[in-house]
Structure 1
């Protein structure tokens, strides 16, 4: 080997060693899987897509920064796509749209992680106003995008067409594709295929083997916390021991740094601690109890207890939750009851025949609609989004079926259990698969509550069926009322009260309150609502 050849060899080795990402640029295959389809790519289209892949890798430093953001947010993106029933392959679209920059703005004034214009955002129940911009919220915007994509896929039964409709709109995609790809599971890509889908394939090729392979930092992790307004990022910064500037940077959806009253909000921040590629740490507010050492059965099923706290999942215009066609409950059309009333009156109010409403919600004719509970206005599902549910004190088969939007008959059949009397706290019910004949239902220890402070009864005699009155002034917290049932208490929600304040009053957790009263992830309660609270 001559001197010049040796120099070139050494320089080449140095270049490869100093730019490891460039040395590992993935190549576009002739055939690949996408969602539930096989994508076959001809040579000319492969070269076109490869140019986009190469461009993504051209600047190693820039690629690394983007990949760090991807690894930071992707567990939440995957979780929300999965909850709506959208294939996880669609996760690469958020990289294509915004590079996971929360306040990205396009030339057409599309905003946020998934690049929504305001009108489209409102179609998928995102809040966009002077206080909140859900387009910059990774949880809500991903859920909105998932709903949008799933709705369009219902038209085409083809995720490629649904994906292109994200850029063209449903009308534009229907005009472009017609029905020639409807229900097709093998797609041929060539020079005439839509550019948007080819660019998407480039992002899939570029990132699919990189996600999870590079840590954001060995000492950092993303934490997601459910918070309830009214509050501010300044107050929350003190609570979670992070800087206010950091919370503002990570939560640009809070437009002016303040969080209004109403539904709950997903707050995210980076915390020191080893980061693995697992779903972001999700903490409820407040976290007062920790599970003690658990048996193998509890280790296996305890995550179901955590998951249950996010159900029922409420989306949409929650400020008008008591009106029809405003919210979805577990991805089904639903409504919140404002007052306790008869089935006939409630069904008439929301414009549904009483018989149909009873059937949709598995209700007996003599039952009443209860204030503060969610009801469905379309048919419930035969199985839930999650696999199991751990029975909590006071729950019934009906309340569990409503919590997850699963038909009562399906819940009973899957678990071979027919009566509420057969339910026991700690039972692990199956929400998807049928339990085998003769197979016993597992039972785990339900996290115990702390002692409940019992209200002093009014000195005046009460009738047997009357609850103690609530007397309060603006300077004094109301004393909780309680029923004469020995195993539970009843609290009447007063103006200005939050779940957190009520949980502190009784010495229980927010999660327990939500579980006992079927309160969804939005933490919506209304004045006058009766909350059930169980004694230890």
Structure 2
């Protein structure tokens, strides 16, 4: 009897949710605005488009899943379209193309968020090879789509025909539409209007009032990293699983970020089982303690730069069994190298060395840093550490000779994104559940006004490059001979030019065909 009651209640609840969703299905209006156009829709076309709108809402569960993806990715799509002067309304096209599934593949072998074929992807500067597939990267693929649409609109002079050209190509759109819509600002949609545009309008109407509505508290975070580095290594730094990073970085072939600077995506909050760095009591909210300027002269503030403590034969610190680091056997790195070479030099097995220092095999040994050859402790000699700008959980654990897992556990903090300058971390006693981490306001370093060349270790965050003033130098004319295995994309990257320019300079068609031994003209800026 109880089971029957539960089943009936579940059924009524499901019906109530379904009815609630169906009750809010938007209706197709007789007129709407799209990009810079006024779109008038005939009654027959309204009914036709309404069927597609209704289809989006037919399955409430699937609709919510899609809505969640839209709210996750759409801020990045909007940003990339805006940066290239493409109307924001075009963002609904990515929903139509892939449902925002990063590795979606069509029957014609179009791939990714914006469903690019390889040749078209390379035309707009996307990288497609065994290591990187930019079509599965929401930022780069959206930028490529914006370039593609902007180029077609400049030729067709109408955003409706430019949008349809996304499905049939520029040549196809010119043949289909001719010049009848060029420069027009009022469009009438009727039974004869191209199906692709009517399908787009259905997606715009279905989702334009849903974007930004609460579905979950997940937030997509972008972090620039310097490769080569594996997603397994990054997952450790970010406090998420490797599977999590693979899910949101399907552009990275084989779970590896290759050499160069790339953006990695991960979820900051929501479905991840994590606790905030600064917790609040469930009963009464706590204010984060703030220390005054006078307290900055306390020993805990001054000790930040007094570790690690080195003793022993410091003249031979780069040799094993010569020094101790925080009373643990250690060694100084005399040069930057890989962990396997360094561990061989100091007479340790690589796996043991990595385990002792909470490292992964693809991380670099840095010149002037101290590394442990003995197991680190679970607690430090001192009670607290004041977090300074630029520090990470790993660097703090190395500074005091404390295991990384112990440091995270004591402070209920799991990743560097939750670490803030001025935090007073516990190094001995675990922090109580709900206890706020105190923060001492400290001065941030003043920005440098001189130009410097910075090197970044693999896996570390990379600062945003500052825009340079445009050069007025005359382009240098270079002749490149195509070698075996080269592609237009590889050649464009080699000389720092776009695939589109490379094709234009050499009259290469849309199939991107080049042959071994072919001479290509390159105008290098």
Instruction: Sort the Cα spacing of 1:451 and 1:155 in 2 relative to 1 into closer, same or farther, 3 A.
Output: closer
Secondary structure of 2:223's aligned partner: strand
Q: What TM-score results when the alignment is normalised by the length of structure 1?
A: 0.51
User: Paired residue for 1:66?
Assistant: 66
Is residue 30–residue 40 contact of structure 1 (8 Å, CA) maintained in 2? Answer: yes
Is residue 67–residue 214 contact of structure 1 (8 Å, CA) maintained in 2? Answer: no
C-alpha separation in 1, matches of 2:466 and 2:459: 12
Cα deviation 1:473-532 (Å, max 9, x = unaligned): xxxxxxxxxxxxxx85765xxxxxx7324999xxxx9538x449889xxxx999xxxxxx
User: Paired residue for 1:170?
Assistant: 170
Is residue 105–residue 111 contact of structure 1 (8 Å, CA) maintained in 2? Answer: yes
Q: Which has the higher contact order (CA 8 A, sep 6+)?
A: 2
C-alpha separation in 2, matches of 1:17 and 1:165: 39
Segments of structure 1 that go 5 or more residues without pairing to the other structure are 1-10, 276-291, 293-446, 453-486, 492-497, 527-536
User: Paired residue for 1:449?
Assistant: 445
Structure 1 position 165, deviation (Å): 0.1
User: Paired residue for 1:247?
Assistant: 245
Instruction: Sort the Cα spacing of 1:105 and 1:15 in 2 relative to 1 into closer, same or farther, 3 A.
Output: same
Structure 1 position 213, deviation (Å): 1.3
Cα deviation 1:291-319 (Å, max 9, x = unaligned): x9xxxxxxxxxxxxxxxxxxxxxxxxxxx
Cα deviation 1:220-263 (Å, max 9, x = unaligned): 3211111121111111111111100000011000011111113x
C-alpha separation in 2, matches of 1:115 and 1:80: 16
Is residue 111–residue 135 contact of structure 1 (8 Å, CA) maintained in 2? Answer: yes
User: Paired residue for 1:226?
Assistant: 224
Is residue 226–residue 462 contact of structure 2 (8 Å, CA) maintained in 1? Answer: no
C-alpha separation in 1, matches of 2:44 and 2:91: 26
Secondary structure of 1:20's aligned partner: helix
Structure 1 position 274, deviation (Å): 11
Is 2:268 the partner of 1:271?
yes
C-alpha separation in 1, matches of 2:207 and 2:451: 53
C-alpha separation in 1, matches of 2:14 and 2:458: 64
C-alpha separation in 2, matches of 1:214 and 1:451: 38
Count the aligned residue pairs.
Answer: 295
Is residue 134–residue 141 contact of structure 1 (8 Å, CA) maintained in 2? Answer: yes
Segments of structure 2 that go 5 or more residues without pairing to the other structure are 1-10, 273-289, 291-442, 471-492, 496-525
Secondary structure of 1:66's aligned partner: helix
Structure 1 position 449, deviation (Å): 3.1
Instruction: Sort the Cα spacing of 1:490 and 1:50 in 2 relative to 1 into closer, same or farther, 3 A.
Output: closer
Instruction: Sort the Cα spacing of 1:169 and 1:267 in 2 relative to 1 into closer, same or farther, 3 A.
Output: same
User: Paired residue for 2:205?
Assistant: 205
1:83-482 to 2 correspondences below 5 Å = 83-215=83-215, 217-218=216-217, 220-262=218-260, 264-272=261-269, 449=445
1:20-35 to 2 correspondences below 5 Å = 20-35=20-35
User: Paired residue for 1:55?
Assistant: 55
Q: What TM-score results when the alignment is normalised by the length of structure 2?
A: 0.52
Cα deviation 1:349-382 (Å, max 9, x = unaligned): xxxxxxxxxxxxxxxxxxxxxxxxxxxxxxxxxx
C-alpha separation in 1, matches of 2:466 and 2:14: 60
Secondary structure of 1:44's aligned partner: helix
Is 2:456 the partner of 1:500?
yes
Bigger radius of gyration, 1 or 2? 2
User: Paired residue for 2:78?
Assistant: 78
Is residue 499–residue 510 contact of structure 1 (8 Å, CA) maintained in 2? Answer: no
Secondary structure of 1:38's aligned partner: strand
Is residue 18–residue 60 contact of structure 2 (8 Å, CA) maintained in 1? Answer: no
Secondary structure of 1:261's aligned partner: strand
C-alpha separation in 1, matches of 2:239 and 2:163: 40
User: Paired residue for 2:515?
Assistant: none
C-alpha separation in 2, matches of 1:123 and 1:489: 34
Structure 1 position 448, deviation (Å): 5.3
Secondary structure of 2:259's aligned partner: coil
Cα deviation 1:409-442 (Å, max 9, x = unaligned): xxxxxxxxxxxxxxxxxxxxxxxxxxxxxxxxxx
Instruction: Sort the Cα spacing of 1:18 and 1:180 in 2 relative to 1 into closer, same or farther, 3 A.
Output: closer
